[in-house]
Amino acid sequence: MNFAPLSALSNDEQLFFDEVEKFARTHIGPKVLEMDEAEKLAPEILAQMFELGLMGIEVPAEYGGAEGSFMMAILAIQAISRVDPSVSVVCDVQNTLVNNIFNRWGTPEQKKKYFPRLCTNLVGAYCLTEANSGSDAFAMKARAFDEGSHWRLTGKKIFITNAKEAGVFIVFANINPELGYKGITAFIVDKDMPGFSLGKKEVKLGIRASSTCEVILDNVKVPKENVIGELGKGYKIAIETLNEGRIGIASQMLGLAEGALAGAMNYARQREQFGKHLREFQGIQMQLAELATKIESGKLLVYNAARLKDANMAFIKEAAMAKYWMAQVAEEVASRALEVYGGYGFIKEFPAEKFYRDAKIGKLYEGTSNMQLTTIFKLIDKD
């Protein structure tokens, strides 16, 4: 197990976290139920996230970004998730996947064109998954044909986060299926390119304010300069960005668990039964203490993985462990926290049922829990 140089937050990081959480509670909090029921992110919330620099945390200052650390992006995701995991995933995908790809593989021209907008008003989306290509991501059927002056993309992507709000999409397609995964290439596709469209918007169990749609590529003409990274190296981009993105999802689940526990603690302080507050019953005390301990262990995993990434140290195993463990913990905490409320936990008047619904996705996207365990085993087997 690798350990990062520092686990605790610096004063600047703590201040940043506190400011983001204050924003989340003040501006996102009053709209959580409304956005969940409408299955739509409030435009003013998105605009405020851009204004606060939360959509370009690691982007260099020369392009209008905050030029912050990866750890700062993880802290922003955690802080927002304490209030609404739906909103946090918009910030997560933008920073850990889309901006990350431009940062690491974009040409100077691509960065100059897209980064200023990604920091101010342009949402990005990451298009990898297909109907028959989920955990087996490289079984994709989307194709890219070299037409001389441009590339022509065909195919369909599913479960694309941020699709409804996004104006630019990182699309993975194969330029030569005979080469297998070595034909996969990444393309920058603008929403207004002819042939590009969105299919159905999924109706989901949780994180409902975050849009999830099909992306349809009907002979989309993509300029040659919109290839990002090298031809045939899209598999490398996909793997490496998802390794980092998993720390983002782990942070989302961390914040969710913290939010669910905080709600249960507050309720236990107020609710009276048999002449005592719930917090006075030893059974309740032990349950909440156990959940707090599991959350704290997960926080250390998440922060350690983020520190390792920032320190340019190996972090893949630690990222997989963080995502696996926090997905487990978040679901357990959300479920048991709901039970503290009794029957009230089952209704929308209290936040418990939404945290419970939102928690399930942690075991599914950006690599299922079983895929994380497979990755962990492969890496510990080499030790």
The single residue of 58, 214, 318, 366 carrying the catalytic annotation is: 366
State whether the Cα torsion 328-333-338-339 is positive or negative.
positive
Indicate if 366 belongs to the active site.
yes
Residue in the structure block whose two tokens are 């603008």 = 190
Report the b/e string of 337-370 with b at 16+ CB within 10 A.
Answer: bbebbeeebeeeebbbbbbbbbbbbbbebbbbbe
Please give the structure tokens belonging to residue 249.
């999802």
The single-letter code of the amino acid at 156 is: K
| 3-state SS record for the chain | CCCCCCCCCCHHHHHHHHHHHHHHHHHHHHHHHHHHHHCCCCHHHHHHHHHCCCCCCCCCHHHCCCCCCHHHHHHHHHHHHCCCHHHHHHHHHHHHHHHHHHHHHCCHHHHHHHHHHHCCCCEEEEECCECCECCCHHHCCCEEEECCCEEEEEEEEEEEECCCCEEEEEEEEECCHHHHHHHEEEEEEECCCCCEEEEEECCCCCCCCCCEEEEEEEEEEEEHHHEECCCCCHHHHHHHHHHHHHHHHHHHHHHHHHHHHHHHHHHHHHCEECCEEHHHCHHHHHHHHHHHHHHHHHHHHHHHHHHHHHCCCCCHHHHHHHHHHHHHHHHHHHHHHHHHCHHHHHCCCCCHHHHHHHHHHHHCCCCCHHHHHHHHHHHHCCC
Closest CA to 151 of 99, 228, 216, 98: 228
Q: How large is the greatest C-alpha to C-alpha distance in the chain, in angstroms?
A: 79
* Displacement of CA 178 from its chain's centroid (Å): 32
Active-site positions?
366
